[in-house]
Amino acid sequence: MATTIKDIAKMCGVGVSTVSRAITGHPDINPATREKIMKVVEETGFVPNASARSLKQSESNNVALIVKGIANPFFTRMIHVLEDSIEKKGCATILRHVASNQDEVHIAAGLAAERKLKGIIFLGGNFTHDGMQLKNLGVPYVFSTIGMDSDGKDPVIANVSVDDVEAAKMATSYLIESGHRRIGLIAEGIDVPSVGQLRYRGYCEAFKEHGLEIDHRLITQVSDGEEHYTMENGYKAAKILLRTVPDLSAIFCFSDVLAMGACRAITDHGKKIPEDVSVVGFDGIEDAKYFIPRLTTIRQPVDEIARETIDMLFGMIEGKTPGRRVLMQAQLVLGESTANGPFRR
Amino acid sequence: MATTIKDIAKMCGVGVSTVSRAITGHPDINPATREKIMKVVEETGFVPNASARSLKQSESNNVALIVKGIANPFFTRMIHVLEDSIEKKGCATILRHVASNQDEVHIAAGLAAERKLKGIIFLGGNFTHDGMQLKNLGVPYVFSTIGMDSDGKDPVIANVSVDDVEAAKMATSYLIESGHRRIGLIAEGIDVPSVGQLRYRGYCEAFKEHGLEIDHRLITQVSDGEEHYTMENGYKAAKILLRTVPDLSAIFCFSDVLAMGACRAITDHGKKIPEDVSVVGFDGIEDAKYFIPRLTTIRQPVDEIARETIDMLFGMIEGKTPGRRVLMQAQLVLGESTANGPFRR
DNA sequence: TTGTACGCGTTATCAC
DNA sequence: GTGATAACGCGTACAA
């Protein structure tokens, strides 16, 4: 049987409450007694049972991190930074990874009831949710890098992200102004309220603003596998584009990972990057800087987004500041994967 | 206040135990009563408090996954597969990520005491540990993809991995037999009992078997940052090699991620891969197949390792089979990053 | 088939 | 400064 606080108490010849005080660092205790107890605790390797502890305590210091699409390196980095920040706030992170067909809010609700969460951070997934369900969470939550619709009628209010519409428009406009017209799109989730939808809108707006028509044969969507943002999916989509659109001169991908897969497909197709086909990614992950060719991409300011997310969440937890929508500045980073297109040569 | 089983009982006009029976799927209950209760449970979104539950139950169905170096895509994939398998066994995964300066066994011990674990899987980290500490865990554990020393005097007995010495020897021998002599090494952790040490041994043995001397200027080690296996570290190490070893014709890296960073450095250095410098990685991650150039690498059979790990752990949990050492077969996968060296041209 | 009462390990509230 | 004791929410033996 595992050692309990009772055993420790017996060993030290004191009461359980004294042991509890020693462990929790309570001030009302004789330093000598504490020393004695802590020594035994060390020796036995005793760790208080977390269940009993959190059962007794009305509040925990758990922050849940609900991630949809954990394989995406962009999130890996985000998770890393967020975990660090949460720890610095003296809290523990419960990392939960949800499949693309699961409802993240439902899962969060379960976790909140189970674990008495202090707050929730959603990473990835949709930005539209059932208001009732969100209310039911009963704890502060922030949507991070999930995008949001600009109409503002959404019940989700705590939200940190780049302006996905603007960012995608920036990428597409850059390609158009570089002389590209036949710009393929490797998209994801344009039919659901996600960043995919927003970025798709940005793509369309860029065309419209330049007085150009959109050819729907240029648009592909990935949806294979449980994870959508994979190199394999980017590879497959690019293959299709290359086969069906002979005069393709550029591809805009909704993530760097997709872009890398696309690059490989272009190379395999016997074409050169960027001479024959330009590629633009999205996210600005570390890998993009080392990929050959270095990717031209839209950089999301990970560290700033993480910091803002944490600040907002803990502001809400402490009741100081309400949740709000914060747009961070995305940035076009020029790499080696883009060059002028046919109309600028 | 959060809803409890008592509230549900009151709402339904039944006793708490009846509600408990309904939720846990106990057979001794009137189907009609269960229906009624479950409906209310659905409506209120009630979820039993996990703390109270696990406090009461002497055993949990939690399996801990302790990962050292979570940013490595190789582990990302492993985690994915392991989580799936654990869920299929009807258990929950507690994912815990430890920093490179933390002791994974110590953390595991804390977790075991806190959460009444069913079993532990260690991913990454060292293979030598304090036998006492391991005994103290009190639950079955398996070391996965961590390597092991062949002398067998180690207390760690449940272990699934490739033969890192053999695998590294295979990679190095391949380069030597392709006509390379000046083969740089981008290593990690050769001074600690880790896969790095084993792979380093393999590198040395290959040289020895071919009657060649080892030049220690060819050996670099990465150790920057909290995560060692990063593109950035590979990049920096390769830069140094290229600067200090003018006649370098190949580099063997202890991971694909390092290899990708190295490739970038070689390209930036104005050299061509594989014409000027060949590169061999280790792991065989998905990305290696899409990288440009496609990496020549040592593939670790992720799915098989994961399956074997799970089988062994649950065999131990059910007391059917004892822990043992299992070596999986690594495989040299030829890509586009290697070519014949000066001595075969 | 159903309800009552107890105990899991911990912390907080009291007396002492 | 310290020890006994009552909760926390749940599962379950046992009584009904």
Q: Residue A24, CB, less than 7 Å from strand C?
A: yes
Contact A260 B109 (CB under 8 A): no
User: Which of A3-17, A50-64, B252-266 shows the highest mean pLDDT?
Assistant: B252-266
Find the residue closest to C9 using CA and C1' atoms: A52
- 3-class DSSP state of A99: coil
Question: Measured between alpha carbons, how far is B321 from B313 in angstroms, rounded to an integer?
Answer: 9
- The reply to whether B15 Cβ lies less than 7 angstroms from strand C is yes
A84: closest CA of chain B, how far (Å):
11
Outline where DSSP puts E strands in chain A.
62-68, 92-98, 119-123, 141-144, 159-162, 183-187, 219-221, 250-253, 278-283, 296-299, 325-328, 331-333
The answer to whether the beta carbons of residues A122 and A143 sit under 8 Å apart is: yes
Q: How far is A267 from chain B (nearest CA, A)?
A: 8
Sheet holding B219-221, edge to edge: B219-221, B183-187, B250-253, B278-283, B296-299, B331-333
Please report, for residues A149, A257, A276, the alpha-carbon distance to residue A335 in angstroms, rounded to integers and kept in the order given.
30, 15, 16
Q: Where are the alpha helices (DSSP H) in A269-301?
A: 286-290
For residue B115, the model assigns a pLDDT of 78
Listed ranges A63-72, B37-46, B69-78, B249-258; the one with the highest mean pLDDT: B249-258
Shortest-distance nucleotide from B27 CA to C1'? C1
Q: What percent of chain B has pLDDT over 70?
A: 97
A-chain residues near B260 (CB < 8 A): 287, 290-291
State the nearest residue by CA to the C1' of D13: B17
Please identify which residue in the block is written with the tokens 């706030």.
A89
Mean pLDDT score, B1-27: 87
User: Is B13 buried (19+), middle (13-18) or exposed (0-12) by CB count in 10 A?
Assistant: exposed
Mean pLDDT across chain A: 91
Query: Residues B237, B168: contact at Cβ < 8 Å?
Result: no
Q: What is the DSSP letter of B249?
A: -
Q: Which of A292, A336, A337 to mutate to test the interface with B (most CBs of B within 10 A)?
A: A292
Q: Closest partner residue to B290 among A52, A55, A261, by Cβ?
A: A261
A308 vs A70, higher pLDDT: A308
Q: What is the pLDDT of residue B259?
A: 98
Q: Is the dihedral of CA A306, A312, A317, A320 positive or negative?
A: positive
Q: How far apart are CA A290 and CA B37, in angstroms?
A: 57
- A221 CB-to-strand C distance under 7 Å: no
Query: Distance, angstroms, CA B70 to C1' C12?
Result: 39
Is the pLDDT at A21 greater than 80? The verdict is yes
In this prediction, residues A72-78 reach a mean pLDDT of: 91
Q: CA-to-CA distance for A245 and A69, rounded, in angstroms?
A: 30
Residue B130: which pLDDT band, with cuts at 50, 70 and 90?
A: confident
- CB-based contacts of B145: which residues, under 8 Å, 6+ apart? B74, B78, B123, B124, B160, B161, B162, B195, B300, B305
Structure tokens at B229: 């296996």
- The larger pLDDT score, comparing residue B90 to residue B259, is at B259
Residues 6+ apart with CB under 8 A from B189: B195, B196, B197, B221, B223, B228
Distance from CA of A200 to the nearest CA of B (A): 25
Q: Which bases in strand C are touched by protein, i.e. have an atom under 7 Å from a CB? A: 1-5, 7-13
Alpha-carbon distance B5 to nearest alpha carbon in chain A (angstroms):
12
How far, in Å, is the CA of B38 from the C1' of nucleotide C6?
Answer: 26
Quick one: which of B298, B218, B228, B294 has its CA closest to B258? B228
Across the range A269-286, mean pLDDT stands at 97
Mutate to test the interface with A, among B86, B292, B336 (most CBs of A within 10 A): B292
Q: Report the pLDDT value the prediction gives residue B184, as an integer from 0 to 100.
A: 98
pLDDT at site A70: 81
**Of the listed ranges A72-76, A261-265, B164-168, the one predicted with least confidence:** A72-76
* Interatomic CA distance for residues B20 and A71, integer angstroms: 37
Element (H, E) at A17: helix A16-24
In chain B, the percentage of residues whose pLDDT exceeds 90 is 59
Nucleic strand C near CB of residue A45 (< 7 Å) = no
